[in-house]
Amino acid sequence: MTLHPIIAALRKHKAGVVLISLQIALTLAIVCNAIFIIGQRIERINRPTGLDESNLFMVGQQWVNVPSGDDPAGVEKLDSMLKEDLVALRGLPDVAAAAPINSLPLLNNSWNGSLALKPGTEVKKEGNTRSTYYFGDEQTLSTLGLHLVAGRAFNAGDVQHHGFRDQSAPAGVIVTQAIADKMFPQHDAVGKPIYVDGSTTPSTIVGVVERMQVPSTGSWANDFAWNSTLEPVRLNANFSRYVLRAKPGRLQAAMHSIPSTLYAVNPLRVLDDDSVKSYADIRAEAYRADVGMAILMGVVCLILLAVTAAGIVGLTSFWVGQRQRQIGVRRALGARKVDILHYFQLENLLIAGGGAVVGLLLALGLNRLLMQHFEMQRLPVIYVLLGIVLVLLLGQCAVFVPARRASNVPPVTATRSV
């Protein structure tokens, strides 16, 4: 079959053809970008934090009417209270492990700074490695289920304690592989000195963990999402956080036993609805916006594709109705049913193809606009190609019903006058 008669016929319906191609082009442009956004969000959500998240939960609490932790006596008092809590939590039958910690990956509450190879630099100085800090004791690493790839974990002798706002540099730290690779690309990082937050005294890297995400999920933290430093320090303040691992299958029971246990140790404290939180809830909360955006984009894509498919069905049906006589004439002159079917399928392929070419340009343009204003990344070509295949298939599916109706027009129609 030659294209010539199809093109000639299309030229008779210029406006209709232009409108339907435009619609296909816009659909392609939006669907490509929307699917790209969905893909990116799914990728973000699926990033492993580096923790063993099952059976993990967090407890946060605040003591009432306690020393500020700004003077040595206050710090000692707060530290003994913290240790009392830990003893009680570790003694619970459903708890496998418990440890103090200041924050957790995805918690969006962080203490950030920078690591340097030289002493006494400014924190924001160019070339320093940005990092988040986690403070915990010798059991924090194992409680979190972090994977140590070099060096050693902290032992009880490493662990210090000091006031929440006291920023003295620890003797030893554990860093993530990401930091080790950035600061010591050529060498083994274990045993090397680094300077924490512009400190003048060095801290030695005693161990390297494979991966540990920072608490912040905001876009400002994307640059250092895997740069975490663990310090062997119990932070003493009027509040404390603990990370706990329940025994398998006992998560709910373990979480349920926390408030009464802690109140029994010391009733003068604040525990509210948010105080005991499973890690699954922390994760869900952190990525709620991303899940929501993905769902929203998915709904928009579905509506778009449905509307465009319906538009193709509607317009083709109209053309079929309009060309009843011509179809009859073709059939009378010997065209088979399948020829008529192919005619409309090919016609749709031409229209959708034209729309797809324009749509490709629009998709890239829209992507550029989103990149300029909304921190989007460049749309990979594969998404555009997938989108093109999608709209061409959509067109073929949509055109099938009216095209088959056209192929069923009997040859005798040709002999009837209107």
Partner 1 sequence: MLTYYLDLALRSLKRSPGLTALMVLAIGFGVAASMTTYSVFRAVSGDPIPWKSSKLFVPQIDMWGPNGRDSDGEPPDAMDYLDATTMMRAHRAKLQSAMYQISPSVVPTEAGKHPINVSGHAVYSEFFPMLDVPFLYGNGWSAADDVQRAAVVAISSKLNEKLFGGANSVGKSINIEGKDYRVVGVLNNWNPQPRFFDVVNSGGFSTGVEDVFMPFERAIDVGIPNDGNTNCNAVPAESGFIGLQHSPCVWISYMAELDDAAAVATYRQYLDGYARDQQQAGRFAWPANNRLRDLPEWLDNQHVVPSDTKVSLLVALGLLVVCLVNTAGLLLAKFLRRSSEIGVRRALGAQRTAIYAQFLTEAGIIGLAGGVLGLLLTGVGVASVSWVLPKDIAALARLDFSLLALTLLVAIVATLLAGLYPTFRASRVQPAWQLKSN
- Find the binding residues for partner 1 in span 246-265 (CB under 8 A): 263
CA torsion through residues 171, 172, 176, 177, sign: positive
Q: Is 127 helix (H, G, I), strand (E, B) or coil?
A: coil
88 binding partner 1? (CB under 8 A): no
- Pick the stretch among 18-26, 91-99, 133-141, 380-388 that binds partner 1 (CB under 8 A): 18-26
Pairing of strands 233-236, 160-163: parallel
Q: What is the largest CA-CA distance in the chain?
A: 108
Measured from the CB of residue 324, what is the shortest distance to partner 1 in angstroms? 12
Query: 102 or 308: whose CB is closer to partner 1?
Result: 308
Site for partner 1 in 159-178 (CB under 8 A): 162-163, 165-168
Q: What φ, ψ does residue 236 adopt, rounded to 5°?
A: -110, 115
| Distance separating alpha carbons of residues 164 and 63, to the nearest angstrom | 14
Provide the token pair at 353: 């193809």
Residue 23 touching partner 1 (CB under 8 A): yes
Closer CB to partner 1, 84 or 166, in the complex: 166
User: Which of 10, 37, 56, 341 touches partner 1 by CB under 8 A?
Assistant: 37
Hey, what are 225's tokens? 């999402």
Q: Which two tokens stand for residue 221?
A: 């933290």
Binding status of residue 395 toward partner 1 by CB under 8 A:
no
Q: How far apart are CA 341 and CA 408, in angstroms?
A: 9
Among 140, 177, 199, 367, binds partner 1 (CB under 8 A): 199
Residues 108-127 that bind partner 1 (CB under 8 A): 113, 122-125
Which residues are bridge partners to 234 per DSSP? 161
Q: Which amino acid is at 282?
A: I
Write down the least CB distance from residue 77 to partner 1, Å: 14
> Shortest approach of partner 1 to residue 131 CB, angstroms?
14
Cα angle value 64/67/71 (rounded, 5°):
160
Number of residues interacting with partner 1: please give it, by CB under 8 A: 75
Determine the 3-state secondary structure of 221 from DSSP: helix
Among 53, 158, 197, 347, binds partner 1 (CB under 8 A): 197
Binding to partner 1 in span 132-151, by CB under 8 A: none
- Told to check if 198 binds partner 1 by CB under 8 A, we report yes
Nearest distance from C-beta of residue 66 to partner 1, angstroms: 9
Minimum CB distance to partner 1 smaller for 1 or for 307: 307
Please tell me the distance from the alpha carbon of residue 231 to that of residue 215, in angstroms, as a whole number: 15
Residues in 266-325 at the binding interface with partner 1, rule: CB under 8 A: 267-272, 288-289, 291-293, 295-297, 299-300, 303-304, 306-308, 310-311, 313-315, 317-319, 321-322
Q: What angle do CA 129, 131, 135 make, to 5 degrees?
A: 145
Binding to partner 1 (CB under 8 A): which residues in 228-247? Answer: 237-238
Q: Pairing relation of β-strands 172-176 and 148-151? A: unpaired
